[in-house]
Amino acid sequence: MDEFMTSRLPDDGAGWIAIGLSDDVPAGCVTGVVLAGRQLALWRDGEGAPHLWEDRCPHRGMRMSLGFVRGNDLACLYHGWRFDGAGQCRQIPAHPELKVSARICMKTFDVAERGGMLWGWHGRDRATGAPEVAASGTAVRSIHAAVPAGAMRVMLEETPGEFFYGLGQLLPVGGHPDLFSLTMEDGTGELVLALQPISSAQCAVHAVLRGQADAALRAECARRMGWLRDSAERGHDDRQGADT
Amino acid sequence: MTVLPELYEFPLDDECYKVRLALSLMGVASRSRPVDMVPGREHEKPAFLRINPLGTLPVWVDGPVILREAATIVLACARGLKAGNWLPADPAAFGAVMDWLVFSVRDLHAAHQARDCALLGQEEPSPALRAQVRRAFNVMEDHMVLRHIGGHEWFADATPTIADILLFPAFALCRDYGVDHDGFPALRRWMRAMRTLPGFITMPGIPDVT
Amino acid sequence: MTLTTDPVALDAWYAVATASEVTHRPDRTRLLGQDIAIDRCRDTGAIRVRPVLHGGEYGDPLPVIERYACVFTTFGNPDTPIVEIEEAGEPDRRVVPCGWFTIRSSGPRIVENFLDMAHFPYVHTDILGSEPNTDVGPYRAEIRADVDEVWATGCHFWQPRGAATERDGSGMMMHIDYRVPSPFIVMLYRVAPSAPDRRDAIALFIQPMGEELCRAQPVEFLVDEISTHTELLHFEQVIFLQDRLILENQVPRRLPLDGQAEIPTRADTASVAYRRWLAAKGLGYGTILPHGQGERA
């Protein structure tokens, strides 16, 4: 029924998937993300804690990613129903005096924050362990590209030099198909990329710097990420064109 | 008594919203002249064509001066302000403003077309048209990523300018034609900053509640 | 796309155009998955609605009735006539067709949104509602078996600027009755703010092009000697486009008729009655029927 629900993802195993940069979801902000084929709402409450929920109000199906944050609650844009950090509905404005039933709650997903990125847990059971990246990281940027994750992975594995020449060599991180790392040639820092499958036609790549991360280097890496997105989309268009 | 300039407009039109937003942010007074664009097609009737033979909205009538393009109306109003930095005098910032002004007219025209089609058409906007819009948004996103890294939150200068105003409607309204905000984190950040400006106003398609 | 086989959807009247806009040049649109062309016959001046067949030829003309400024047609054999709106016939009524707008949603979601008061403060902020006046008081909703319609009566809601005449925004308690005379038509009646002894009527005519894509036109039947035509239009259009953002972001787009699928509250009494009514009819077009009901091939 939903294109996101039916798209097959390459990685069926349980694990953490990068869903955004910490810096891009400030307190009081909500956005839509896709985790392993599910459309979710990612938001940060007034005290800075991130939350990852089903992107759908249980009342009338409105996408919560269009909602608004009040204090530590997320409210639905349609009728203002307010849900606390645990996903429990606390207030129904149409009936201000009503004690809200405990069964009105959001389906929540495990979210972690590590290495400058936000991660969502993909798996039947609750999350185990933390994302396997170093704890610190300075935001470079995220790119969203209109190509499947598989095509992006091939580019990152086979032709990283087209985008990252002069900086260092981009290499896959062992044991993790969606993590890549580049150690700067001068040894001062490391660029880390995390690939996020979105749909059969879309993916995102989130980039952070470790170690040295001055504005000039962040800007240079951000530019290269833009090239990566544009090249991936152009290459994909060309291949699609050749098929028809 | 001074005679106020008149703005001929249609409340659901994104081009007219550029002007309304600018007037409200810059504190410029005018008189609204609502035009029945849909369904009445009043903009194609002789009475209106005598004011603007192009048959387009918005139109700005200030004494003998008639302006027919949102960007030039906003530009002229900003030029008339006694204070503020909506139209910077500094050559580099002025150049950047004008560059984005042209971008808003030329490269974001696809956004206007896509919205028009989604609102009034028989078919959804074509994937090709939506891809064209996304490419224009990518250019904006790339720019705002670098601005943010450089410690700036606005398109052309350290403070908001008419470039921000003229670029805002296309992005803020893109859900109207099936393009989500989610893939443009830098533009989302900028959009939130826009909403905090004194005098900021919305139009249908942009939520009021935050 | 091809014409639906859903019998309930087929056996209903649909507005598909504004009569005054029909010309000799055929206008193409779509109803229930079938492409149709609407034009005015050069010889008789009569309005025609014809299916467009594969290859671009026209099929046999469909039934056409001009009413409420609109052109109505049907593919089936409706057992009820087009809704009777008594107010439309009053000589001093201002009839305002507000234009057709396209919405990526299902017809039933659009109807349900129109029946809803609780969203006014959040979606129509400072017009039809505003915080903290969010309370929806008790009202009565029923399926009227004798006329086969859904009604919600005794509705009231505090509105800052409930009509085009209310310019100062000081607000008033608006009294509203809602009526669903057909699965894809919804109406409201409210006390006319400038003539408190009479009622304004507003109808929303929905043209389902597909299960999840519609055009819809609000038509107002007002007692208002104050507002200009354009003011009346723009007031209603702004409201309608504010709802469009909601409607295009509901998941799923089709209306779930299973009572467990979405959680209603007391304010949704009208919506619950509408869903029950559709489920009893077995309407599958633009809905998700409860499991096991009306499985279509």
Domain span holding position C26: 7-73
Distance CA C7, CA B92 (A): 66
| One domain for residues C61 and C151 | no
| pLDDT tier at A5, thresholds 50, 70, 90 | very low
State the pTM of this model. 0.95
pLDDT band at residue A175 under the 50/70/90 scheme: confident
Is the pLDDT confidence value at C104 over 80? yes
Q: Do A215 and B181 touch (CB under 8 A)?
A: no
The beta-carbon neighbor of B210 closest among A26, A68, A215 is A68
* pLDDT given at position C170: 84
pLDDT given for residue C295 in this prediction: 53
pLDDT computed for residue A83 by the predictor: 98
> Is residue C67 domain-shared with residue C144, that is, in the same domain?
no
Pick the residue of C111, C115, C117, C122 with the most A CBs within 10 A to test the interface with A by mutation. C122
Q: Is residue C108 included in any domain, yes or no?
A: yes
Mutate to test the interface with C, among A2, A78, A88, A97 (most CBs of C within 10 A): A78
State the residue range of the domain holding A85.
15-122
Q: What single string gives the DSSP state of each residue in C104-172? A: SS-HHHHHHHHT--TTHHHHSBTTTB-TT-------EEEEETTTTEEEEEEEEEEETT-STT--S---E
Q: Which of B145, B187, B202 should one mutate to test binding to chain A, selecting the residue with the greatest count of A CBs within 10 A?
A: B145
pLDDT for position A86: 97
Q: Which of B142, B181, B188 sits opposite A226 (nearest CB)?
A: B142
The angle subtended at Cα B111 by Cα B109 and Cα B116, nearest 5°, is 100
pLDDT of residue C134: 97
A vs C, Cβ pairs < 8 A, gives 72
Chains that touch B (3 or more CB pairs under 8 A): A, C
Residues of A in contact with B180 (CB under 8 A): 32
- Domain final position from C31, C48, C73: C73
Residues C36 and C172 grouped into a single domain: no
- CA C267, C271, C274 angle in degrees (round to 5)? 150
- What is the rounded average pLDDT for all residues in chain A? 91
Confidence band (pLDDT; 50, 70, 90) for A137? Answer: very high
Whether residues A162 and A116 share a domain: the answer is no
In eight-state DSSP terms, residue B177 is: G
pLDDT digits (tens, 9 = 90+) for C163-177: 988 877 789 999 999
Q: Which residue of C has its CA nearest to A39?
A: C251
A169 and A96: one domain? no
**Which CATH number do you get for residue A115?**
2.102.10.10
Say whether both A111 and A43 belong to one domain.
yes
* pLDDT tens track for B10-62: 999 999 999 999 999 999 999 999 999 999 999 999 999 999 999 999 999 99
Given a contact cutoff of 8 angstroms between Cβ atoms, the answer to whether A113 and A135 are in contact is no
- In whole angstroms, give the CA distance from residue C240 to residue C238: 5
User: Closest Cα of chain B to C162: distance in Å?
Assistant: 17
Where does the pLDDT of residue A9 fall: very low under 50, low under 70, confident under 90, or very high at 90 and above?
very low
Q: Show the DSSP H helices in B27-88 as ranges.
A: 46-49, 70-79
Q: What are phi and psi of C234, to 5 degrees?
A: -65, -35
- Start-to-end CA span in chain B (Å): 39
Same domain, C245 and C99: yes
Give chain B's mean pLDDT: 97
- Rounded Cα distance, C50 and C38, in Å: 7
In the predicted model, is pLDDT for residue A135 greater than 50? yes
C265 falls within a domain: no
Domain count, chain C: 2
Residues C216 and C98 in one domain: yes
The residue assigned the tokens 């078919």 is B123
Q: Using one digit for the tens of pLDDT, what is the confidence trace for C22-81?
A: 999 999 999 999 999 999 999 999 999 999 998 999 999 999 999 999 999 999 999 889
Residue A40 lies in a domain: yes
- Specify whether A145 is located in the same domain as A107: no
B202 Cα to chain C: minimum distance (Å)? 11
pLDDT reported for residue B2: 79
Residue A131 lies in a domain: no
CB contact set of A243 (below 8 Å; sequence gap of 6+): none
Whether residues A168 and A215 fall in one domain: yes
What angle, rounded to 10 degrees, do the helices at B70-79 and B162-172 form? 150
C99 in contact with B at a CB cutoff of 8 Å?
A: yes
Considering the domain architecture, whether residues A106 and A170 belong to the same structural domain is answered as no
Q: Do A26 and B189 touch (CB under 8 A)?
A: yes
Among residues C73, C94, C117, the one where a domain terminates is C73
C267 occurs within a structural domain = no
- The CATH number given to whatever domain includes residue C210 is 3.90.380.10
Contacts of B131 in chain A (CB under 8 A): 146
Please tell me whether residues A93 and A178 are part of one structural domain.
Answer: no
Interface contact C265-A98, CB threshold 8 A: yes
What are the chain A neighbours of B189 within 8 Å (beta carbons)?
24, 26
Query: Which stretch of A130-134, A196-200, C265-269, C276-280 has the lowest confidence by average pLDDT?
Result: A130-134
Q: Are A223 and B207 an interchain contact pair (Cβ–Cβ within 8 Å)? A: no
pLDDT of residue A220: 97
Residues of B in contact with C104 (CB under 8 A): 118, 124, 178
Q: Two tokens at C232?
A: 């009346």
With an 8 Å Cβ cutoff, are C267 and A103 in contact? Answer: no
- Using CB atoms, which chains have 3+ pairs under 8 A with C? A, B
Option in B149, B192, B209 nearest A29 (CB): B192
Out of B146, B181, B192, the one facing A219 most closely (by C-beta) is B146
Residue A165 lies in a domain: yes
Q: Are residues C106 and C215 in the same domain?
A: yes
A118 and A147 fall within a common domain: no
CA distance B150 to chain A (A): 6
Question: What is the rounded average pLDDT of the residues B148-171?
Answer: 98
Which residues are CB-contacts of C255 (< 8 A; sequence separation ≥ 6)? C106, C108, C109, C112, C275, C278, C286, C287, C288
Q: Is B11 within 8 Å of C230 when comparing Cβ atoms?
A: no
> Is residue C283 within 8 Å of C274, Cβ to Cβ?
no
Average pLDDT, chain C: 95
**What is the reported pLDDT for A209?**
98
Q: What is the pLDDT of residue B123?
A: 87
A117-122 and A111-114: which strand pairing? antiparallel
C93 and C208 both lie in a single domain:
yes
Tell whether C242 is within 8 A of chain B (Cβ).
yes
Contact B145 A141 (CB under 8 A): yes
Nearest alpha carbon to residue A207 among A176, A236, A178, A177: A178
B205 chain-C contacts, CB cut-off 8 A? 241-242, 244-245
If asked whether residues A88 and A163 sit together in one domain, one would say no
Q: Which residues of C touch B119 (CB under 8 A)?
A: 101-102, 241
Query: Residue A8: is its pLDDT beyond 70?
Result: no
Find out whether the peptide bond into B11 is cis, omega within 30 degrees of 0. no
**How far is Cα A18 from Cα A111, in angstroms, rounded to an integer?**
10
Q: What does the pLDDT average to over C227-239? A: 97
| C167 contacts chain B (CB < 8 A) | no
Of the candidates A24, A26, A68, the beta carbon closest to that of B209 is on A68
More confident residue, A185 or B69: B69
Query: ipTM for the complex?
Result: 0.96
Query: In this structure, are residues C137 and A97 in contact, taking their beta carbons and an 8 Å threshold?
Result: no
Based on the domain organization, do A112 and A180 belong to the same domain? no
Other CB atoms within 10 A of residue C42 CB: 7
Least CA distance to C246: which residue of chain B? B205
Higher-confidence position of A238 and A8: A238
Q: Same structural domain for residues C130 and C224?
A: yes
Q: Are residues A115 and A21 in the same domain?
A: yes
Angle B198-B201-B203 from CA coordinates, rounded to 5°: 170
Q: Which residue of C has its CA nearest to A94?
A: C135
For residue A159, pLDDT beyond 80: yes
Better pLDDT: A129 or C85: C85
Q: Six-digit token pair at C283?
A: 């309407």
Residue C100 domain flag: yes
Residues 28-57 on C with a CB inside 8 Å of B are 28-30
Q: Is residue A128 part of a domain?
A: no
- What percent of chain A shows pLDDT beyond 90? 82
Per-residue model confidence as pLDDT tens digits over C35-51: 999 999 999 999 999 99
The predicted pLDDT at position A1 comes to: 32
Single-letter residue type at C275: R
Domains with residue ranges and CATH for chain B: 6-81 (3.40.30.10), 91-196 (1.20.1050.10)
Tokens standing for residue A164: 């990252």
Coarse DSSP helix, strand, coil percentages of chain A, rounded to the nearest 5 percent: 20, 35, 40
C116 with C171, same domain?
yes
Do C103 and C210 belong to one domain?
Answer: yes
Residue of B nearest to A229 (CA): B138
Identity of the residue in B39, B175, B207 whose CB atom sits nearest the CB atom of C97: B39
Q: Looking at the predicted structure, is the pLDDT value of residue A7 above 70? A: no
| Nearest CB to A218; choose among B142, B149, B207 | B149
HSE-CB at C4 with a 13 A cutoff on CA atoms is 24
Q: Do C101 and C235 belong together in one domain?
A: yes
Confidence band (pLDDT; 50, 70, 90) for B1? low
Contacts of B124 in chain C (CB under 8 A): 104, 213
Helix (H, G, I), strand (E, B) or coil at C89: helix
Domain edge (last residue) among C26, C48, C73: C73
**Model confidence pLDDT, tens digit, residues B95-136:** 999 999 999 999 999 999 999 999 999 988 999 999 999 999
Note whether B99 contacts C: Cβ–Cβ < 8 A.
Answer: no
> What is d(CA C22, CA B72) in angstroms, rounded to the nearest whole number?
37
A131 close to A221: Cβ distance less than 8 angstroms: no
What are φ and ψ of residue C219, in 5° steps?
A: -125, 125
User: Are C111 and C244 contained in the same domain?
Assistant: yes
Q: What does the pLDDT look like over A52-79, one tens digit per residue?
A: 999 999 999 999 999 999 999 999 999 9
Task: Report the C-alpha gap between B39 and C98 in whole angstroms.
Answer: 7
Domain of C28, CATH number, reads 2.20.25.680
Give the minimum alpha-carbon distance from C172 to chain B in angstroms, rounded to a whole number: 21
Q: Answer whether residue A8 is part of any domain.
A: no
CB atoms within 10 A of CB A136: 13
Please report all neighbours of A, defined by 3+ CB atom pairs within 8 A. Answer: B, C
Name the helix (H) or strand (E) containing A16. strand A15-21
Backbone phi, psi, residue B30, to 5°: -155, 175
Cα angle value B101/B55/B25 (rounded, 5°): 40
Number of domains in chain A: 2
Using pLDDT thresholds of 50, 70 and 90, give the confidence band for residue C1: confident
Q: Which of the residue ranges A230-234, B49-53, C192-196 would you say has the lowest mean pLDDT?
A: C192-196
Q: Using the beta-carbon criterion (under 8 Å), do A68 and B138 form an inter-chain contact?
A: no
- Is residue A63 less than 8 Å (CB to CB) from chain C? yes
Last residue of a domain, one of A122, A157, A174: A122
Q: Do C230 and B207 touch (CB under 8 A)?
A: no
Tell me what pLDDT residue A244 has: 44
For chain C, the residue count is: 297
What local confidence, expressed as pLDDT, does residue B118 receive?
A: 98
Sign of the torsion angle spanned by Cα atoms B169, B175, B181, B184:
negative
C294: which DSSP letter?
Answer: S
Partner-chain residue, chosen from A33, A66, A146, that has the shortest CB–CB distance to B134: A146
